[in-house]
A and B are shown apart, each in its own frame.
Chain A
């Protein structure tokens, strides 16, 4: 059965898509991008808004992410790890927007967005209050973390592996591990209080 032996550790990643420029393929791409939009919009919004960016601006950034995805696929670029690719583009656009917002002093504090919308499935009102307090405290702890640690934590919550997080943030694998360790140390100390 075995016909070929390859050293996968040295395998090169090559584009999966074969380039084509017919009008029919453009409509295929549009449908594909919309499918990704439906899958990832909510998650990207949550990630972008955590940078302290308003809802309106965050929606615009999400639109830009998927327009970039369309161009990326249209040029026949790699489809590998589109999951982390989307977060990488969103991350860079969010940083750019936040910088622009800071210049125009148009920033919304993240707590005002998050604390209003905290939700708990527990039907017990007292438990809901306690849960909301705990979550609010956790959020305060998270927002006090260095930005890199916050980003690593959120990307981990989005299901990205350490290598993918490193790719999104442009840092080393070791830095991801250290950031998460620091972040978890603070979260665990906060939980004990």
Chain B
């Protein structure tokens, strides 16, 4: 039963509009809004003020430059940074080339040569296997996906850091090894959950796989966006948890296209705005419907 006598504070209404309340508090306020015109009007004022500020803030590039010059400058500086790191290493090495240093370096060199031959054989196998698993989708035999028993209330109480969070280091190494990248991990991959914990995914190895990080169109950052979107849709009642788990585990790329209505990943900024406007705060659309008497 909605409580008309309970009036949330302005701070609570703003937090509710921004999707920052727990699901229990949000439900309580939503029930109150059904019967309180005053609070609904205040929400509308918040929306209008937010839109007004957004329009003011989102102005065109104040320097009216396409960024090509600054980008080229950054590239040059990064290249210099890398060279300086290498030069410093060489200078440190040169100081060590006295008699004792030379002896140590020679002994080290012999050990390195002996080990390199063994490592080369291992690396060739790993690189071959790594290329086989450079795929954007996991190997279904190794990563079918797995979940743990959770309640909707629990996962909806999680904040963003808990919905999308890192895999522990030892487990990462195990996954790389299973996929044949063990021993030669690269920065090009991120071990990621197939079904994110924010949607009830487990920490089991069957739910993890090495995902291309940045050098593919469909990378881990794009999947993070999908996980955030699905989490908000599930907590907003727009999608069942079972369906979300099924869609993301079956083919997360197809799921992204379905829920973002696009054939290619959206730029991070625009997808974030889209999230704010539609899925992050599904209650906002409900509120608009209530205000319009829909």
Interface residue ranges, A against B (CB under 8 Å): 1-6, 8-9, 11-18, 20, 23, 25-35, 37-43, 45-46, 49, 55, 59, 62-63, 66-67, 70-71, 73, 78-81, 83, 113-114, 117-120, 131, 134-135, 138-139, 142, 153-154, 156-157, 159, 161-164, 177-178, 180-181, 184-185, 187-188, 191
C-alpha gap A79/B189 in the complex (Å) = 12
Q: A67 with B160: in contact, given A79-B190, A159-B276 (CB under 8 Å)? A: no
Assess whether B117 is interfacial by the CB under 8 Å rule: no
Q: A18 with B173: in contact, given A30-B79, A138-B52, A191-B49 (CB under 8 Å)? A: yes
- Residues of chain A within 8 A of B147, CB atoms compared: 1-2
Number of interface residues of B (CB under 8 A): 75
Q: Are B269 and A2 in contact (CB under 8 A)?
A: no
Residue B20 contacts which of A49, A153, A162 (CB distance < 8 angstroms)?
A162
- Residues of chain B within 8 A of A29, CB atoms compared: 187
Residue of B53, B190, B273 most packed against chain A (CB within 10 A): B53
- In angstroms, how far is the closest chain A Cβ from the Cβ of B53? 6
Q: Are B77 and A63 in contact (CB under 8 A)?
A: yes
Q: Are A20 and B187 in contact (CB under 8 A)?
A: yes
Q: Are A45 and B58 in contact (CB under 8 A)?
A: no
- Residues of chain B within 8 A of A40, CB atoms compared: 269
Sample (26) of A-B pairs whose CB atoms are under 8 Å apart: A1-B146, A3-B204, A8-B158, A9-B158, A12-B168, A13-B166, A16-B167, A18-B176, A28-B188, A30-B78, A30-B79, A33-B78, A34-B74, A67-B81, A71-B81, A80-B161, A83-B268, A117-B59, A119-B60, A154-B57, A157-B54, A157-B57, A159-B275, A161-B160, A163-B160, A187-B52
Residue B62 contacts which of A1, A45, A81 (CB distance < 8 angstroms)?
A45
Which of B9-17, B25-33, B107-115, B233-241 contacts its partner? Answer: B9-17
Q: A31 with B214: in contact, given A49-B62, A80-B165, A163-B161 (CB under 8 Å)? A: yes
- Of all chain A residues, the one with the shortest Cβ separation from B61 is A42
- In angstroms, how far is the closest chain A Cβ from the Cβ of B153? 13
Q: Are A30 and B10 in contact (CB under 8 A)?
A: no
SS of B interface (majority): helix
Q: Are B185 and A191 in contact (CB under 8 A)?
A: no
Q: Are B161 and A31 in contact (CB under 8 A)?
A: no
Residue B169 contacts which of A14, A23, A35, A142 (CB distance < 8 angstroms)?
A14
Residue B203 contacts which of A4, A12, A13, A78 (CB distance < 8 angstroms)?
A4
Interface residue ranges, B against A (CB under 8 Å): 10-11, 14-15, 18, 20, 45-46, 48-50, 52-64, 67, 70-71, 73-75, 77-79, 81-82, 85-86, 146-149, 158-162, 165-169, 172-173, 176, 185-188, 190-191, 197, 202-204, 206, 213-215, 267-269, 272-273, 275-276
- Residues of chain B within 8 A of A187, CB atoms compared: 49, 52-53
- In angstroms, how far is the closest chain B Cβ from the Cβ of A82? 9
Q: Are B214 and A188 in contact (CB under 8 A)?
A: no
Apart from A17-B187, A18-B173, A159-B269: 7 A-B pairs, beta carbons within 8 A:
A5-B149, A5-B202, A23-B82, A163-B159, A163-B161, A180-B18, A184-B46
Residue B11 contacts which of A12, A178, A191 (CB distance < 8 angstroms)?
A178
Q: Which 10 pairs show the lowest CB-CB distances between chains A and B? A: A159-B272, A187-B49, A3-B204, A18-B185, A181-B11, A2-B148, A135-B56, A4-B202, A32-B214, A16-B166
C-alpha gap A37/B149 in the complex (Å) = 40
- Residues of chain A within 8 A of B11, CB atoms compared: 177-178, 181
Residue B15 contacts which of A35, A46, A177 (CB distance < 8 angstroms)?
A177
- Residues of chain B within 8 A of A114, CB atoms compared: 59, 62
- Residues of chain B within 8 A of A13, CB atoms compared: 161, 165-166
C-alpha gap A113/B61 in the complex (Å) = 11
Residue B215 contacts which of A31, A55, A66 (CB distance < 8 angstroms)?
A31
- Residues of chain B within 8 A of A30, CB atoms compared: 75, 78-79, 82
- Residues of chain B within 8 A of A164, CB atoms compared: 160
- Of all chain B residues, the one with the shortest Cβ separation from A173 is B20
C-alpha gap A42/B61 in the complex (Å) = 6
- Residues of chain B within 8 A of A177, CB atoms compared: 11, 14-15, 20
Q: Are A62 and B70 in contact (CB under 8 A)?
A: yes
Q: Are B49 and A59 in contact (CB under 8 A)?
A: no
- Residues of chain A within 8 A of B159, CB atoms compared: 161, 163
C-alpha gap A54/B59 in the complex (Å) = 16
